Amino acid sequence: MTTRNVLLQLLGGRKNSSHLRRWINLWPPFLGAGIRIKYIGADMKAVDVEMKLRWWNANYVGTHFGGSLFAMTDAFYMLMLMANLGPDYVVWDKAATIRYRKPGQGKVRAEFRLTDSQIDDIREKLKTLQKYEPTFRVEVKDESGEVVAIVEKLLHVRWQRREVRDELRSGERMQPTT
């Protein structure tokens, strides 16, 4: 079993979103920053995250530390795609950018949404491409709904043939052919 599958099983498996939410909320980087997952859809197509301003996640001018704002957007689209595409696809976060719009104060929130058409588009593109790198955008908003930061996530997705994946799991090495 791969590390990815072990982690998903420990966190409640692919089908148990409430377990996953509880365990991710206890993950030390999120716990330490005060990041809380408020909602994960049973189909893993929706995730809502929030963070209250505390002394330990504030910067030197008393607003949200930029690294914490960035951290609250990390890995969710990757996890959502992994759950929805299934084990025949490899999904990685490849790059991300953040644009700060205004100082974050009070409670901030980010809502991640994945549509069936986005999932279908990825599957369709990977029928002809070796890899596909979709970009997802999420806004971090304050309590009044104003945008504090915009984060764009570039993901790397590729299809992995089941036979190759099973060979790699079993420890066999594929030999290059000449």
Domains annotated on the chain, with CATH:
3-169 (3.10.129.10)
Averaged pLDDT, 22-27: 82
> Dihedral of CA 155/156/157/163: which sign?
negative
* Residue 4: other Cβ atoms inside 10 A: 13
User: Residue 8's pLDDT is what?
Assistant: 52
- How many whole angstroms separate alpha carbon 166 and alpha carbon 160? 10
Task: Name which residue leads in pLDDT, 124 or 19.
Answer: 124
Say what the pTM is: 0.80
Chain segment 27-65, per-residue pLDDT in tens:
888 888 899 999 999 899 999 999 999 999 999 999 999
Predicted pLDDT at 93: 95
Section 62-86 average pLDDT: 93
- In this predicted structure, the answer to whether residue 10 has a pLDDT above a threshold of 50 is no
So what's the pLDDT on residue 23? 82
Q: What pLDDT, on a 0 to 100 scale, did the predictor assign at position 1?
A: 45
Model pLDDT for residues 118-177, shown as the tens digit of each residue: 999 999 999 999 999 999 999 999 999 999 999 999 999 999 865 544 554 555 555 554
Dihedral sign of CA atoms 96, 97, 101, 104 in order: positive
What's the pLDDT at 110? Answer: 98
pLDDT of residue 173: 53
Helix (H, G, I), strand (E, B) or coil at 77: helix
Name the phi and psi angles at 65, rounded to 5.
-65, 130
For the record, the structure tokens of 47 come out as 């995730």
Is the confidence at residue 3, as pLDDT, over 70?
no
Residue 19: predicted pLDDT: 73
Residues linked to residue 96 through DSSP beta bridges, in sequence order:
153
From residue 92, alpha-carbon distances to 4, 52, 77, 165 in Å are: 11, 28, 9, 16
Q: What is the pLDDT of residue 163?
A: 53
